[in-house]
Amino acid sequence: MDVVKRAIDGLRGSLSITSARGKGTAITLKLPLTLAIIDGFLTRIGMEYFIFPLSLVEECVELSREASKATHGRHLAHVRGQLVPYIRLREHFMVSGTPPGFEQIVITNVDNRRVGMVVDTVVGEHQTVIKSLGRFYRQVDGISGATILGSGTVALILDIPRLVRLVEQQEAQLTRGGELS
């Protein structure tokens, strides 16, 4: 155990062991967030990169400009016989530029509900080292961290459950505001 403790100390982590007779032993290992690694799903919107935790991604489907217009401003897509609500990340994060003719909807599973996130391009799987956010992005809702890609470009890691809750709260406020008028 001494060898393990020295290795963890070398990583600026900590190790603690507590034991209670007849109850068992608890070993707690803490490592800095900068050493956390997740399997991610890399996407792009304009020149900005975003990573989805791969464990939340179910599938990706195309969204044509025509299909988007056919819903008359409602963010819903027909996916395998089911209506799936989606969030346009370009709008949410105010990414400038014109979306392509065919966007991609990354279908995620949040609290056993399918929710889509619209991006320009799907790049693919990406093993991601999580870095904590700097002061600029710390207050951005829906972002849990960042990573640096091989090209040196920063990619933001999405907090999908928080993002969905935030959009639902905004829509509920708009609905209540509309009822009061």
Phi, psi (rounded to 5 degrees) for 11: -95, 10
Whether 129 has a pLDDT exceeding 90, the answer reads: no
Q: Using pLDDT thresholds of 50, 70 and 90, give the confidence band for residue 33.
A: low
Q: Is 13 helix (H, G, I), strand (E, B) or coil?
A: coil
Mark whether 24 and 42 lie in a shared domain.
no
Mark whether 108 and 21 lie in a shared domain.
no
Mark whether 102 and 147 lie in a shared domain.
yes
Q: How much is the pTM?
A: 0.75
Per-residue confidence (pLDDT) for residue 11, from 0 to 100: 66
Taking Cα atoms as reference points, which of 115, 113, 144, 120 lies closest to residue 130?
A: 144
Mark whether 14 and 77 lie in a shared domain.
no
Range of the domain at 118: 35-180
Single-letter code of the amino acid located at 3: V
Q: Using pLDDT thresholds of 50, 70 and 90, give the confidence band for residue 35.
A: low
Query: What average pLDDT score do residues 44-73 get?
Result: 90
Mark whether 91 and 149 lie in a shared domain.
yes
Per-residue confidence (pLDDT) for residue 137, from 0 to 100: 66
Mark whether 23 and 92 lie in a shared domain.
no
Q: What count of other Cβ atoms lies within 10 Å of the Cβ of residue 145?
A: 21
Mark whether 10 and 53 lie in a shared domain.
no
Instruction: End-to-end CA distance of the chain: give it in Å, rounded.
Output: 66
Whether 168 has a pLDDT exceeding 80, the answer reads: yes
Whether 165 has a pLDDT exceeding 80, the answer reads: yes
Whether 174 has a pLDDT exceeding 90, the answer reads: no
Percent of the chain with pLDDT over 90: 50
Beta strands in the chain (DSSP E): 14-20, 24-30, 37-45, 48-53, 57-64, 76-79, 82-88, 102-110, 113-119, 121-129, 143-148, 154-158
Distances (CA, A) of 141 to 37, 68, 137, 157, 158: 21, 25, 9, 11, 9
Q: What count of other Cβ atoms lies within 10 Å of the Cβ of residue 106?
A: 24
Per-residue confidence (pLDDT) for residue 131, from 0 to 100: 81
Whether 135 has a pLDDT exceeding 90, the answer reads: no
Mark whether 46 and 133 lie in a shared domain.
yes
Mark whether 93 and 117 lie in a shared domain.
yes
The CATH number for 61's domain is 2.30.30.40
Bridge-based pairing state of the strands 48-53 and 57-64 = unpaired
| Residue 147: strand pairing partners | 155
